[in-house]
Chains A and B, each alone.
Chain A
Amino acid sequence: MQFLRSPGMNNSWFRNLTVGIAFFFTFLLFSSIGVLLFVLKPSEIISSLLSEEMFYSMKLSMLTSSASTFSVMCCSIPTAYALSRYSFPGKRMVKAVLGLPMAFPELVMGLALLLLFGHGFLGPYLEMAGIKVIFSKLGIVVAQFFVAFPYAVRVIYSTFEDINPRYEQVSRSFGYGEFETFRHVTLPMARSGLFASSVITFARCIGAFGAVLVLAGGSYMHTEVLPVTLYLNISYGNLEMAITSGILLMGIAFLAILSFERFEGGKL
């Protein structure tokens, strides 16, 4: 929306106040990021980057986040589509439950998952099938999945909502079934929104910490992903490693936000 610019508006105290606050806190945020970048000498960063532990954790982070992003997308696209296009009994409840994890702490989420996959409920059955979720690499993926899933559903839902159902109707009228229409019309039209949401999902997965720590344990060189590396190394007092993993995470987040901003508007 564009507001008319009246001459008196430019110097109103209210405008100055809001713009001032915007600048002040953006500056604080920016300088805190800057501090992170400039504390270490480049040689220290490079030697930390090349350490075996960092290499392990980077690789594990990439692998687990890719796997969980993939599974999140596979599940959130149908979920979001159902929520956007169909009405079914219990729809409100599904929506509310999906909204929950956004509000409640990741740590609690981890705890809940630990209990669910632990010895009380699903654990024994899964173990019989040879699947171990707790304190395993699979646990990382599961934790990341549940952290990122609700966000992905929300972004994809709004993407589908922006597509006029009449496009699908037109396609149906030419003899295409529901799934064919979804594949030929809805998915391609949602392309940029889907891309944006997979980027944001990846960023959330790679940054997921609380739930991962509780469910997968966060043990050295076993379930150690980047946020865990940061955490472990702070507790050892090994600041170089901690800061380097921080820089890596930040870099990934920054790239993600940049591409999200670029593609969310719909032009791909």
Chain B
Amino acid sequence: MSFLEIRDLCLDVGGFELSGIGLKAEKGDYLALIGPSGSGKSLILETIIGFYGLEKGRIILEGKDITDLPPDMRHISIVYQDHMLFPHMNVFENIAYALRKKVKDKKQIETEVKQVAEVLGISELLHRKPTTLSGGEKQRAALARSLVARPKLLLLDEPFSALDTRTREKLREMLKKAIADYSTTVLHVTHDFEDVWALANRVVVIRKGEVMQAGDPESVFKRPSPDFVAEFLGTNVLKGKVKALEGKLAVVEAEGLEIYSTDPAEPGEEVTVSIRPEEVILARETVESSARNILKGKVSGIFKKEHLVVVEVKMGSAEIKAVITPTSCEMLGLEPGREIYAVFKASNARIIR
């Protein structure tokens, strides 16, 4: 039996419905729930933590049915996008609050708070009130508070979406380390692919209150189900090996192609490269440009996706998808079999491990 099992979860809250959601996670899994906004992702989390009663379905954690348990008996913690730090307590008290129910010894509480503060780099902020913290600091404090309780399951409801890109990257690193330290099983709701790449080992795609697809991130993004693509465009995933470093760029040999990436990598490393289709430019001839990656291939397929056109370009064994407007498609005179160059910047070829 799985560590966490959600069976046939049905719920109707004022016009929004979850119908027959099923999820599974093993101990130590990092499960990302991804889907467009309004797809019911947050609702799933709030159901798991016990905010809403279920109409139908079961939630089973560690082989125990917790469906009818009140939230305080479930040992599940949650971090919301808007952190929910108690404004009348300082950071230390906020974190200690999470422990007070389990640990009575004051000394031990202090040690544990300091320890988690160390991991998340907020040791200097313990005496501050939440209102005086920056967005990233608040979110780190909220993570610390949730982790210190050593929950069986940690729920993250878009914890990074209110932060700027750099803070987000920093926080992902910290979170990764922290959940490894505390060996927590995580359910992370997001609409950001980067969260999935950086953190998750499994991904579940949710749309309109239903599970569309589940699996490891690579397979889901490489072969997104047709319904999913209507909302998201998926991404190009290429497997390969770092051949060499050329200045600051890593040269990756992937499926017969040579791809330059700005992401840090070590020579000889096995890596996966992700290129978002909307970042690929199609050109009829080689153009002199700042983009380092210019790959020659043949158009193997063209299909419409809403108001855009997805073009599949075959290059040896590899295939790269590009998204362009119908006008560009016409101007380039694209048709299957035509030779074409796919151009993208080294900074858009992201290395995933």
Residues of A within 8 A of B (CB): 164, 166-167, 169-177, 184-185, 188-189, 191
Contacts and interface: CB of A to CB of B under 8 A. Distances in A.
B86 A167 contact: yes
B141 interface: no
B86 A173 contact: no
Contacts of A170: 77-78, 80, 84
B77 A169 contact: no
Interface of B: 46, 49-51, 70-78, 80, 82, 84, 86-88, 97-98, 100-102, 149, 151
B72 A173 contact: yes
A127 B47 CA distance: 53
A173 B74 contact: yes
Given A169-B49, A172-B50, A184-B97, A177 B72 contact: yes
A184 B93 CA distance: 12
A170 B101 CA distance: 13
B102 A175 contact: yes
B76 to A, nearest CB: 6
A171 B73 CA distance: 12
Closest 8 CB pairs of A and B: A175-B101, A172-B71, A188-B88, A174-B98, A172-B72, A175-B72, A170-B84, A166-B84
B101 A169 contact: no
28 contacts: A164-B84, A166-B80, A166-B82, A167-B84, A167-B86, A169-B46, A169-B78, A169-B84, A170-B78, A170-B80, A170-B84, A171-B86, A171-B97, A172-B50, A173-B74, A173-B77, A173-B78, A173-B149, A173-B151, A174-B77, A175-B75, A175-B102, A175-B149, A176-B101, A177-B70, A184-B97, A189-B86, A191-B88
* Main SS at interface, chain B: loop
Contact of A172 (B70, B100, B151): B70
A103 B101 CA distance: 46
Contacts of B100: 174
Given A164-B84, A174-B72, 9 more contacts: A164-B82, A166-B82, A169-B46, A169-B71, A173-B49, A174-B101, A176-B72, A176-B101, A189-B88
Contacts of B51: 169
Contacts of A169: 46, 49, 51, 71, 78, 84
A176 B50 CA distance: 13
B104 to A, nearest CB: 13
A167 B71 CA distance: 13
Contacts of B74: 173
Contacts of B46: 169
Contacts of A173: 49, 71-72, 74, 76-78, 149, 151
Nearest to B142: A170
A55 to B, nearest CB: 41
Contacts of B77: 170, 173-174
A164 B50 CA distance: 16
A169 B74 CA distance: 12
Contacts of B80: 166, 170
A138 B280 CA distance: 82
A166 B50 CA distance: 12
A189 B84 CA distance: 12
Contact of A189 (B75, B87, B98): B87
B310 to A, nearest CB: 39
Contacts of A177: 70, 72
A267 to B, nearest CB: 11
Nearest to A174: B98
A173 to B, nearest CB: 5
A166 B52 CA distance: 12
Contacts of A164: 82, 84
Contacts of B73: 175
A185 B50 CA distance: 18
Contacts of A191: 88
Contacts of A174: 72, 77, 97-98, 100-101, 149
A88 to B, nearest CB: 14
A10 B94 CA distance: 49
A47 to B, nearest CB: 48
Nearest to A164: B84
Contacts of A171: 86, 97
A240 B94 CA distance: 57
Nearest to A268: B88
A132 B106 CA distance: 52
A157 to B, nearest CB: 20
